[in-house]
Structure 1
Amino acid sequence: MRTRSKICGITRLEDARVAVNSGVDAIGLVFYPPSPRAVTPIQAQKIAQVIPPYVQIVGLFVNASLAEIKVTLQYVAIDVLQFHGDESPSQCATMAQQLGRRWYKAIQVRPELDVHTEIQRYAQAGASAVLLDAWHPNIKGGTGHTFDWSVFPKSNTPLILAGGLTPDNVKQAIITTTPFAVDVSGGVESAKGIKDHQLIKAFMQGVHCGSANED
C-alpha cells in the first residue's frame, strides 16, 4: 500500500504549490494562534484557492470551540478536521458531527501512554485516523522531535506518523512503522512557517522510496 503524505503548517501560496506539484496527498493549515505556523481564515482562503481536486485540505485546531471552527469554515472549505489539543473522543465526535466533517485526533506519545487504548477510544468515537506525534510538555506539534518508532502499533485504524520527520529519515521511518501516512512540518522548513522547496521535494522522494521498500 502506498504511504500517503501531508505537509503541515503551510503559510504561503508558493509553498502550497510546490507541495502539490511534489505529490502530497494533503496540506495542513494551522488555526492555532500561538503557533508560528498559524494562518488566519482569510490567509487560509487564499491558500485553498491554489489547491486542486484530489488534494485534501486539513484544518488543525487546538482546543478550539465549535463557534471558532464554524467561523473558519465560512472562509475555507476544509476537508478534514485535525484535533490536536486535549479534546476528548466525545468532544471530537460531537463537533465533527455538527460541522459535517470527517476528523482525526493527534496523540502525543508519552512514555507512560497506553497507545493501543488511546487509539481505540478515538476510533470508537468515529475518528477516520489517529496521528501519533512526539510528546512535548508545552508544544502542541511541530516539536522537531521523534518518538520511539518501535512502539508504533499495528492497528485496523489508519495511523499517521508525525514528529521529527525529515528528508533524511522518512524512508526508514516508513519501513520501520509502515504507517498509513506521514505528516511533516518543521522537517521541510528553512524557518518556522517557511517551507524549503528543495526539502519538500527531497522529503517526497523519501516517501516514495520508503513506500516501495515497505515489507
Structure 2
Amino acid sequence: MWVKICGLQNMKDAVAAVEAGADALGFVFAPSRRQVTPERAEALIAGLPPETVTVGVFVDAPVEEIRRVAAQAGLKAVQLHGSEPPEAIGQVGLPVIKAFRIKGPDDLARLPEYREAAGLLLDPYVDGQAGGTGQTLDWTLVRWAARVLQQAGVTMAGPDEPLTPGRPRLILAGGLNPENVAHAIAHAAPGGVDVSSGVETGGSKDINKIYAFVEAAKGAAR
C-alpha cells in the first residue's frame, strides 16, 4: 500500500515518516497552518535520503510558480489541490497528483479527464477548505471511482509502481487515522492513502501516530 504523510514542517517529523516506511512526504505551499516556505522545504528535503519522494502541495498556483518552487525545494512530484484544468498536468514537468474534493458520485465523472496524472486523490468536499480537514470521505466512492476509470479505459498503477504519469494511482484521503485506515483500505480498496491531521496531536505531527498509521496501512494491504 502506497502511503503519503502530508503537512510536514520539521526535520524530526520528516525523518520519522521516512523511517516508518512512508512512500511519499508532502509539503504544503498553499495558505494553511501547515504551510512551509520554499526555503524551509529546501532545507528539510536536503536532509532526507535522496530517494525520498517529496511532494509539493499547491492550490491554483500559476504553473510558473509551481515549477520555480519545485526546482528550488527539490521536489520529486507535485499535488494540485485546486481547480486546475487537465492541461496543467503536462505543464508542471514532474509527476502530478490531482486532488478532487468530492461531494458525491456525480463528481467522479471528471476523473478520466486527468488520466495523464500520476495520482488521483479523493478528498471529501468541505466548504471553504481545500484539504486537511479531518473529515471522512464516503469510502464506497473509491470503488465507484475505480469503475469510472476502468470504463473509460484508464490504465491504473500497480501496487508497487512509483508515481508514473499516465498510470494514475487512486488515493484515498480525508479522516484517516491509525485506528481506521486498515478498515478503510479493506472497504475502499484504494491504490494509496494520504494522511495529515490523522497523525497529529494538538495540531502537531505525532511520531507515534505516524509509525502506527504506516504500519496499519501496510499491514492491511498485506
Structure 1 length-normalised TM: 0.89
How many residues of Structure 1 are paired with residues of Structure 2 in the alignment? 201
Spell out structure 1 runs of 4+ moving beyond 6 A.
none
1:12-91 matched pairs, under 5 angstroms = 12-32=10-30, 34-91=31-88
- What is the identity, as a one-letter code, of the residue corresponding to 1:208? K
1:1-215 matched pairs, under 5 angstroms = 3-32=1-30, 34-93=31-90, 95-96=91-92, 100-111=93-104, 113-115=106-108, 117-123=109-115, 126-153=116-143, 154=146, 155=149, 156-157=155-156, 158-192=169-203, 194-212=204-222
Deviation at 1:67, TM superposition (A): 2.7
- What is the identity, as a one-letter code, of the residue corresponding to 1:122? Y
1:42-83 Cα shifts (integer Å, max 9, x gaps): 100111012213320001100001232233134211111110
Cα distance in 2 between the residues matched to 1:5 and 1:40? 24
CA contact (8 A) 2:104 2:141 kept: no
1:112-168 Cα shifts (integer Å, max 9, x gaps): 6341x2210111xx1112001111111111010111111213244320110010000
- What is the identity, as a one-letter code, of the residue corresponding to 2:186? I
CA contact (8 A) 1:105 1:130 kept: yes
Which residue does 2:166 correspond to in 1?
none
Deviation at 1:172, TM superposition (A): 0.5
Structure 2 length-normalised TM: 0.86
Q: What SS is found at the alignment partner of 1:152?
A: helix
Unaligned runs of 5+ in 1: none
Cα distance in 2 between the residues matched to 1:108 and 1:182? 15
Cα distance in 2 between the residues matched to 1:177 and 1:107? 16
CA contact (8 A) 1:24 1:55 kept: no
Deviation at 1:188, TM superposition (A): 0.3
Percent identity between the aligned chains? 38
Cα distance in 1 between the residues matched to 2:71 and 2:19? 27
CA contact (8 A) 2:56 2:70 kept: no
Deviation at 1:210, TM superposition (A): 1.0
Unaligned runs of 5+ in 2: 150-154, 157-168
CA contact (8 A) 1:161 1:182 kept: yes
Cα distance in 1 between the residues matched to 2:94 and 2:202? 31
- What is the identity, as a one-letter code, of the residue corresponding to 1:139? Q
